[in-house]
Structure 1
Amino acid sequence: MPKVSVIMPVYNNAPYLQEAVSSILHQSFRDFEFLIFDDCSTDGSSEILASIRDPRVRLIRNPYNRGLIANLNEGLNMAQGEYIVRMDGDDVSLPDRIMLQVQFMDANPAVGICGTAFHVLGEAQPKVNPLSHEEIQAWLLFHCCLHHPTVIMRNSIMQQHYIRYDANYPHAEDYELWNRVASYVQMANLPQVLLYYRRHSGQVSSQHVHIQNDSAKRVRIRELNNLGLYPTEEEFGVHMRFVEFGINPHDPANYYPAWAWAQKLLYQNSVGNRYNQEALNTALSRCISQLPY
């Protein structure tokens, strides 16, 4: 059995696909299977995939376009490795990515899901997400702070709890999953940049931003409900100002409703003890101060 299963759905990624595939096949860590799902690509991606000659690659050609979530879940069903690594067909994994993530997971058996820092191609500064489980869980109430293409997952935990992506949350399926499992799966992020992330007009998040925003909204409302809060439309608007770092401390009409919502969140959490109180307080303070993590 391989140590790692890499899951990569592909749909019309031809301009970037060779580089993405090569970045996995040339990893310093070699003990993996590479599950590539060709979801009926029409742009030449299928021909690129057909040209790969590496015994670690398992190419699955779908008879019809199944969509990202179905491919991800099929990958979870098929994965034989101790660990599952996510990859997208338009990104680039750095050569030591899998090795460093496997070393971290081997050394931290309580962690079930681990992401990394990443660098958006064309931007000056890398993105370093919160590192500890307590910080990640608290920030998930506002942001998706586990970057999906960077994650490694412990297969035994995924199978034991039958953790799968939920098709009811299209284009925010990762955000929904992290929030759903955060109460019983330990999460972490590594501070090293181990992936180059590519933004372009053809990617799913660019084409379906309104659907993605609606899915993310429903995740946030569900998590507030789980905390015992049922926000009015006005209160949820205030919550979204936290999400967008859009609170103006110098404008009383903007600041005081935000302060009141923060106190409501902290009080309700002190009752339900769903989040680490210090981590939640820090996240709220940084949102108000417009200081992203």
Structure 2
Amino acid sequence: MISIIMSCFNAEKYIAETIKSIIVQTYVDFEFIIIDDNSDDKTVDIIKGFQDKRIRLFINEENRGLTVNLNFGLKQAKGEYIARVDSDDVFIKNKLEVQKKYFDRNPEVGLIGTNAYIYGTKKVIKMPITYSQILGSITLYNPFIHSSIMVKKDVIMKYLYNELFRHSQDYELWSRLVFNEKVININKPLLKYRIHENQISKKLETSQNVLSSEIKSNIIEKVMTLSENHKKIFINSLQLMNVKSVVLKDVKKVYQDIYLSHTFLDSNSERYFKKQLWSFYDRLTYYIIKNNHFKVYYSEISFWPINRFNLMSKLIWIKKKVGLK
């Protein structure tokens, strides 16, 4: 059996569609654990309107927060597998079936995520797929969409969510789990991920950035050796924070040190990390030129393994694209 866990708070606008997408799944052997976090709108009434015996509703008498609710849901779960869904996201009809079949064929895997559609569009959010790619990306960003994951219960119970993290709790959990368990993403969009102004990740973006920085700092300590100053420059550059005080040629040196000091699982992980690292550096360069924070000295830029000519050409193209002289 699969236990699907959802925490909700004042979710009346979208929760009905989310629940519908669960109860019509092609895989039917599941329980749906819903923890209402003391909502004061019609959320609970909407949930009770679904007459499905697989729904187990728990109502908090006070607001406890997402992280505490998720750990509560894990402890209540009766299933061998755990799936997550946020109260504004939508499962594709065969999501559970596809992930369960993958587990059956690959018993060594402990956690499976997927790609996702951006709700209301055909645009796909593509995640790193293989274990090597995930290890090659987790230093840079969260390699899983939280609502997409399915995990073996005996795996996640070894770690649980860290209740000191009210936000970014999934990224913090993965930062501990992926170095000990085999994990993958299925290269299919099996979720409709909703982006709107009222979602937690939008409302609490600043708080999430701070916590994400702490998580990245902890991961860096596991996979590479960096000075505190280089670590700070690196994390700020990934999140485009405090870039006005950062000199691009200094970031270049930091990125070189990051690559050279990083410990990789294998050559595939190394190649993926290298590619993603360059992508972030490119984004930072674009952002800096676009906002014209300071003068870029082309002659001093040479990011290895991209040779100087290619990088200079790319920077010139970026500069033209954003209309700077």
Unaligned runs of 5+ in 1: 248-252
Moved over 6 A (4+): none
State whether structure 2 residue 138 is matched by structure 1 residue 143: no
Structure 2: which 5+ runs fail to align?
285-325
Does structure 1 residue 105 correspond to structure 2 residue 113?
Answer: no
Q: Which has the larger radius of gyration?
A: 2
Cα distance in 2, alignment partners of residues 282 and 149 from structure 1: 26
Aligned ranges 1:1-293 → 2 under 5 Å: 3-159=1-157, 162-233=158-229, 235-242=231-238, 254=248, 256-270=249-263, 273=264, 276-290=269-283
1:72 partner amino acid: L
Pairwise CA distance, 1:233: 4.1
Secondary structure of the residue that 2:58 maps to in structure 1?
strand
Letter in 1 for 2:16: Q
TM-score normalized with structure 2 length: 0.79
Q: What SS does structure 2 have at the residue aligned with 1:5?
A: strand
- Structure-2 separation of matches of 1:290 and 1:134: 23
Q: Please say if residues 223 and 262 of structure 2, whose CA atoms lie closer than 8 Å, have aligned partners that are also in contact.
A: yes
Worse-matched range after superposition: 54-63 or 224-233: 224-233
Contact 2:233–2:254 at 8 Å: present in 1 too? no
Could you tell me how far apart the structure 1 residues matched to 2:79 and 2:227 are? Answer: 42
Distance 2:50 2:231 in 1: 52
The structural deviation recorded for 1:227 is 3.0
- SS of residue paired to 1:34: strand
TM-fit CA distance, 1:241:
2.5
* Aligned residues of 1:143 and 1:243 also touching (Cα < 8 A): no
1:231 is displaced (CA, Å) by: 3.7
CA displacement, residues 40-89 of structure 1 (integer Å, 9 cap, x when unaligned): 11110011112221111111111211110011001111111111110111
Answer yes or no: is the 8 Å Cα contact 1:14–1:45 preserved in 2: yes
Between the aligned partners of 1:49 and 1:97, the Cα distance in structure 2 is 21
Alpha-carbon distance between aligned partners in 2 of 1:243 and 1:284, rounded to the nearest angstrom: 13
Q: 102-111 or 232-241: which moved more?
A: 232-241
Amino acid at match of 2:211: S
Percent identical? 27
Provide the C-alpha distance between the structure 1 equivalents of 2:26 and 2:73, rounded to a whole number of angstroms: 23
The Cα RMSD (Å) is: 2.3
Which SS does the other structure have where 1:265 is aligned? Answer: helix
Contact 2:225/2:262, CA 8 A, preserved across alignment: no
Deviation at 1:122, TM superposition (A): 4.2
AA matched with 1:221? S
Name the TM-score, length of structure 1 as normaliser: 0.88
Contact 1:146/1:189 (<8 A) preserved: yes
